[in-house]
Chains A and B, each alone.
Chain A
């Protein structure tokens, strides 16, 4: 589980309008030069103090990851100027070390292989469902949608144990074997892809529905008049229009899966363990090997940080996605 989650709660119209207004103001102020904004010295200083407090722990770890092991253990990172020393050895050690069941580079690749499909599957499936909830009228639509929405608050801890036994042992209904388990062995990513897909669906459906249901009615009608069925309407009109929402949810899901530990601990066995799992292993077994831990932590963080800094605007917009609906 990662920290990032877009606002996923129903919000009333007024709040929605307010957040939207604020977001626009924010983007305007970013576009303009900040000089003509009313700034106050006191507020700036207070903000800087908090920002420094918030950044120092990460900064300390970053510096430490470049210090030689013997210096790490005998002096604090803040004394770097008194006890200078710089090395890339920690990164070398952590990238080649066999301290864990899976080496770190292997785990890094595992994380990539787990994350990319696990970010795309739920998006496709959820956008199909969101379209149906928004544009195909049927009986019990509201109840069903509220049911899907309620599922996202259910702790996934509720689902872990039965889902695992479903994957490994299959399902028997009164002696009738309906499903004999994935049975693909410990080296398959199958279970963890499916598990992540399922756990992402309620939120994805909810957010995409918010967006897709706001597409102007006239557009959908026009497509229908021109002879498009639901399939074409979905593929040619809704999907392109919903791209911003899909993209920002994709970023969240990517980070969510990349940073997840719980699902990985349960569903990614042995050789397919992602980087978070390996990191936890290093922390558990070698709690005092700071040179491994610090460098390992940064190897794991580098991808989400790049994603974060490169796509920050979408990130913020996506965070407000549940509320601002494009």
Chain B
């Protein structure tokens, strides 16, 4: 595989796309083909199954560049798997199909997410080079320094402020746009920031926040307005602690579109009879909104809040592009990146981030289990 990638890297970039896609689709096609013929009975198919069971692990390990006897061990395991499959209660070929469908995804997840996550937990208790156990030293470093505590507190503030404000803005806009002319076009305008990268969004807002010395012409929109009314220019990005709020505005600006689209669909899904009944009872628009619409879309509101909370916890690009974490604007996700050469400390930051996300994971897994039980 490293040989293939090396050969590929030597080609012109655009030529690499069809080649790597073709290679990938051939492998995927082979998997589907063997899965298809796996459950067929007859000696021929049994032999094919045996060959695949032995040769596929061998080929994979050789492709990954392991030494030959690791590959041989894999081949032996493959043969054992063949026997297991052969005697499977659901008939020969059943396990083979299952593994064919699931193993690519599960293998990648195990290698790329499960193993690294566990490794990070251990690395958080090791020194920078990962070869000596240091106990809680990394965490003492994280909690002991003012700047690191600021990063943790900032992350928490992000999670509290951004979901709330973007949901409110999105909800308000969804309500207005529901009764507005040119709904489609107006929606697209607010939704558009979602297509822009956080880096692009940061540049857009950097320009809004830009400040020049007093007296010289302002080119940032906000300072342009302030000086027009005779005020002194404000260096929005550098005045702690308010600069955090100005960075949050960027994420709110982006996420409002998301909240708006989901909540707009939810509002349109509130049964018209309920609204009409409330109208007949003589309620005004605000009363209808608080007593009929909001309770009606409660669960959609929770979904939107949770989704944006996750996004706010992981916010990285905005802080990295706007300030790089300077001037008291650091957040956990950026601290992990900034400390990437100090593996122990980076891991400690990542673990703290994980602990903050944990309640959201637990809540959603519980929701999921409830759903599975109902079905």
Minimal Cβ-Cβ distance residue in A for B349: A157
Contact of B179 among A38, A129, A155 (CB under 8 A): A38
Contact of B116 among A163, A293, A296 (CB under 8 A): A163
- Is A225's CB within 8 Å of the partner chain B? no
A213: min CB distance to chain B, Å: 9
- Is B65's CB within 8 Å of the partner chain A? yes
Give the contacts of B176-217 with A (CB-CB under 8 A). 176-184, 186, 188-208, 210, 217
Q: How far is the CA of A54 from the CA of B2 in the complex (A)?
A: 47
Residues B36 and A47 in contact, CB atoms below 8 Å apart: no
Residues B183 and A34 in contact, CB atoms below 8 Å apart: yes
A70: min CB distance to chain B, Å: 12
B95: min CB distance to chain A, Å: 9
Give the contacts of A294-309 with B (CB-CB under 8 A). 294, 296-297, 300-301, 304-305, 307-309
Give the contacts of B246-266 with A (CB-CB under 8 A). 253-256, 258, 261-262, 264-266
- Is A240's CB within 8 Å of the partner chain B? no
Classify the interface of chain A: helix, strand, loop or mixed. Answer: helix
Q: A151-B109, A262-B337 are in contact. Are A184 and B2 (CB under 8 A)?
A: yes
CB-defined contacts of A229 to chain B, threshold 8 Å: 35-40, 97
- Is B24's CB within 8 Å of the partner chain A? yes
- Is A58's CB within 8 Å of the partner chain B? yes
Interface string of B23-34 (1 = CB under 8 A from A): 011001001111
B17: min CB distance to chain A, Å: 5
B228: min CB distance to chain A, Å: 9
Q: How far is the CA of A235 from the CA of B31 in the complex (A)?
A: 11
Contact of A154 among B10, B357, B372 (CB under 8 A): B357
Q: How far is the CA of A182 from the CA of B111 in the complex (A)?
A: 14
CB-defined contacts of B34 to chain A, threshold 8 Å: 231
Give the contacts of B320-353 with A (CB-CB under 8 A). 320-321, 324, 332-333, 336-337, 340, 343, 346-347, 349-351, 353
Residues A162 and B115 in contact, CB atoms below 8 Å apart: yes
Contact of A297 among B106, B184, B204, B369 (CB under 8 A): B204
Contact of A22 among B10, B192, B266 (CB under 8 A): B266
Residue from B16, B102, B221, B367 having most chain A Cβ neighbours under 10 A: B102
Residues B193 and A54 in contact, CB atoms below 8 Å apart: yes
- Is A159's CB within 8 Å of the partner chain B? yes
Contact of A4 among B20, B113, B190, B194 (CB under 8 A): B194
Q: A109-B13, A158-B116 are in contact. Are A51 and B343 (CB under 8 A)?
A: no
Q: Using a Cβ–Cβ cut-off of 8 Å, how many residues does chain B contribute to the interface with A?
A: 149
Q: How far is the CA of A284 from the CA of B323 in the complex (A)?
A: 9
Q: A10-B364, A155-B350 are in contact. Are A283 and B116 (CB under 8 A)?
A: no
Interface string of A132-162 (1 = CB under 8 A from B): 1100101000101010111101111111111
- Is A14's CB within 8 Å of the partner chain B? yes
Residues B300 and A18 in contact, CB atoms below 8 Å apart: yes
The 5 closest A-B pairs by CB, nearest first: A231-B36, A198-B112, A259-B197, A22-B269, A22-B265
Q: List 19 A-B contacts (CB under 8 A).
A: A4-B194, A15-B300, A18-B297, A57-B221, A110-B13, A128-B32, A129-B102, A136-B97, A154-B117, A157-B314, A166-B116, A179-B64, A182-B1, A265-B320, A276-B199, A283-B206, A300-B199, A304-B196, A312-B188
Known A-B contacts: A116-B21, A187-B9, A188-B6. Give 18 more (CB < 8 A). A4-B195, A5-B311, A8-B307, A9-B306, A9-B307, A12-B371, A54-B189, A77-B219, A109-B14, A120-B24, A131-B101, A150-B361, A201-B105, A258-B197, A261-B321, A265-B320, A283-B206, A290-B219
